[in-house]
Amino acid sequence: MSEIAKAIGRRIRNYRNQQGISQERLAELADCHETYIGQLERGEKNATLETVERVAAALGVPLSTLFEKLEGLDGVQENIPLMCYELLSAKTKKEQERLYHILLEIDRYKDD
């Protein structure tokens, strides 16, 4: 599968895990089969926009959020900013805030 399908799948899984809901529950909310949700999360299926829209709505996130910062994903060996974005998006809000403050501290002392 494409890197984009894998990235969208990771984001779906991240939002689902943040909310503490199972694949089965997300499948119910999005009117999909539970095995299909697993396949989406692993990037094994290319979903239609309608399906991704239903999943986004079931997760309570804007559709555009699942597609943020995907440009240039295919063919790029190391996209550090995107890797950081993916890492942070997988964390809870509280964890994101902590990591942000850690980065600020590191940046503050980088020249010392």
Delimit the domains of the chain by residue range. 3-109
Token digits for 33?
């089969």
Kindly report the pTM of this predicted structure.
0.72
Structure tokens at 16: 């689902």
Q: Answer with the residue of higher pLDDT: 69 or 56.
A: 56
Tell me how far apart the alpha carbons of residues 9 and 39 are, in angstroms, rounded to a whole number. 8
For residues 87 and 63, the model is more confident at 63
Q: Residue 98: how many CA atoms within 13 Å on its side-chain side?
A: 5
The CB density around residue 8, as the number of other CB atoms within 10 Å, is 23
Residue 74 has pLDDT above 60, yes or no: no
What's 43's DSSP letter?
T
pLDDT band at residue 108, thresholds of 50, 70 and 90? Answer: confident
pLDDT band for position 42 (50/70/90)?
A: very high
Say if CB 10 and CB 87 are below 8 A apart.
no
Across the chain, mean pLDDT equals 86
With cut-offs at 50, 70 and 90, classify the pLDDT of residue 38: very high
Which amino acid, 24?
E
Which CATH number applies to 3-109?
Answer: 1.10.260.40
Q: Which long-range contacts (CB under 8 A, 24 or more apart) does 27-30 make?
A: 29/58, 30/54, 30/55, 30/57, 30/58
